[in-house]
Copies of this chain bind each other. A is one copy, B any other.
Amino acid sequence: MSFERLKGFRDLYPEDAEPKFYVMQRAQETAKSFGFRHIEMPSLETLELYRLKSGEELVSQTFSFVDKGGREVTMIPEATPSVVRMLTARKDLPRPVKWFSMPRIWRYEEPQSGRLREHIQFNADIFGADTPEADAEIMGLAASILDSLGLSGMFNIHINDRQLMDLILKSLGTADTLAAFAVIDKFKKIEREEFSRQLTALGYSQDAINGIVKLMETRCDSTNLRKTVLEINPVSKELLDTVERVETTLNLYSSYSESKIFVDFSVVRGLSYYTGLVFEVFDLRGDFRSILGGGRYNNLSGLMSDQNVPAVGFGMGDVVIELLLKSKELWKVPHEPDSFYVCVASRDLMNTALSISSELRAEGFISSADISRRGLSGQLKSASTSGYRYAVILGMKEIETGTVTLRDLNTGTQQQIKRELLVQSVKKL
């Protein structure tokens, strides 16, 4: 018999489950404050839905199977196709539509640092607005979520634009731009020689490759983007429009967060469906994989339906953010309420203990009366090992005098308090 947990899956005990849900709750609250609405999709979809968009490589990494009804189904390996399916099923919704979701997603790949077989992903998307304002808002939301977690100033947003890259790459050679994106996506992961070799194979000249490598290492903000791009490209209206769009996005973004944003030409994102903005967020020191990533995908709904709805969005998995928050000692839930364990010297006092406990909960505290039926000292030990901050003790003497004893389990100090003044007193602690 095998009662082990499956490889690549996690048992989340309170010390991890609670900070993780705090992160998701902050993300959710921040998205709500931006006017995003909550949706959730099924965990299981037809494999066809994911085959269409994600391609065979991703499909080979899915937990997919034939269900008891003979359907080819998959545990969802990402959220976007499901979100787009849900969008195109509802023509009645006023646009722009702004949605977030927090699904679990699954990939059958070798578990490694920052990658597991199951994770929770926070997703946000804007449909129906093909503007720099929408692009800036989606990144502003991403940055605001990280800011709300105490990460202000600890991350950079690396952006790029696939149309801009398409124009640049086409001016350097005649290769298939999508194939070039696939190579550029590997820039940080493969050796320089291998990078050049793969670009050569696509038909780029050595001069062009030198230009691309130089570009990969260039960072631009809105003050020098135009100059950098025009140095390697012939001026065209299309190019100038694209540069202007990126400049506008960069400028609008600056109203959302203090975190740095710049153009990083090496960011193109792996998935083939991005059509404009692409972005990834990294910790300042570059210790971890990207914390989150996204971009604009204006064609996906058209592939899946008779509707063409421009879209921009991002996804943030819960694995890298956990590593980052842990490294910054921010992996905790701030501001938990005080907790009280109500102990009784006799079982006859249980109903009184339960009433006290209930009054404390009504005031927003954490409180529980003893359920162990141990002696008083056993109950106090239980209170302490379970991490309660205070014990409320109902002893025989206390009942006679109409009082309770309140003991601070951290310091060991205690005081007698009139039963009817207990709640009032603990509110002042």
Residues on A lying within 8 angstroms of B by beta carbon are: 1-7, 9-14, 17-18, 20-21, 28, 32-35, 37-46, 48-49, 52, 63, 65-69, 71, 73, 75, 85-86, 88-90, 94-96, 98-99, 101, 104, 106, 108, 117-118, 126, 128-129, 131, 133-134, 136-137, 140, 144, 251-252, 254-256, 304-305, 337, 339, 341, 350-351, 354-355, 358, 361, 364-373, 382, 385-386, 388
Residue of chain B at shortest CB distance from A251: B351
Pairwise interchain contact A48-B96, C-beta atoms closer than 8 A? no
Report the separation of the CA atoms of residues A305 and B255 in the bound assembly, to the nearest whole angstrom: 57
A99 to chain B, nearest CB (A): 8
- Known contacts being A6-B73, A11-B86, A367-B35, is A44 close to B67, with CB within 8 Å? no
Closest A-B pairs by Cβ, 8 of them:
A255-B354, A9-B42, A65-B65, A94-B385, A14-B37, A133-B371, A35-B368, A12-B40
Asked if B369 and A45 sit within 8 Å, CB to CB, the answer is no
CB <8 Å contact, B12 and A39: yes
Q: Are A42 and B5 in contact (CB under 8 A)?
A: yes
Known: A255-B355, A371-B126. A42 touches B10 (CB 8 A): yes
Please state the number of chain copies in the assembly: 2
A104→B120 CA distance, assembly (Å): 12
Identity of the chain B residue whose Cβ is nearest the Cβ of A94 in the assembled complex: B385
Q: A32–B358 Cα gap in the complex (Å)?
A: 13
Contact assessment for A44 and B17 in the assembled complex, using a CB-CB cutoff below 8 Å:
no
20 contacts across the A-B interface (CB closer than 8 A)? A2-B46, A3-B46, A6-B44, A6-B45, A6-B71, A7-B69, A11-B86, A14-B39, A33-B361, A33-B365, A33-B367, A43-B43, A43-B118, A44-B75, A44-B106, A44-B118, A96-B382, A133-B372, A140-B354, A256-B354
15 new A-B contacts at CB < 8 Å, known A2-B49, A9-B44: A5-B45, A7-B69, A10-B42, A12-B41, A13-B39, A18-B38, A33-B366, A34-B361, A69-B108, A96-B386, A131-B373, A133-B350, A133-B371, A133-B373, A251-B351
B2 touches A48 (CB 8 A): yes
Cα–Cα, bound, A128→B372 (Å) = 8
Q: Report whether A371 and B129 are in contact in the complex, using a CB–CB cutoff of 8 Å.
A: yes
A35 partner, pick from B18, B21, B350, B388, beta carbons under 8 A:
B388
Contact A52 B104 (CB under 8 A): no
Give Cα distance in the complex from A390 to B382, angstroms. Answer: 52
**Whole-angstrom CA separation of A30 from B338 in the bound complex:** 15
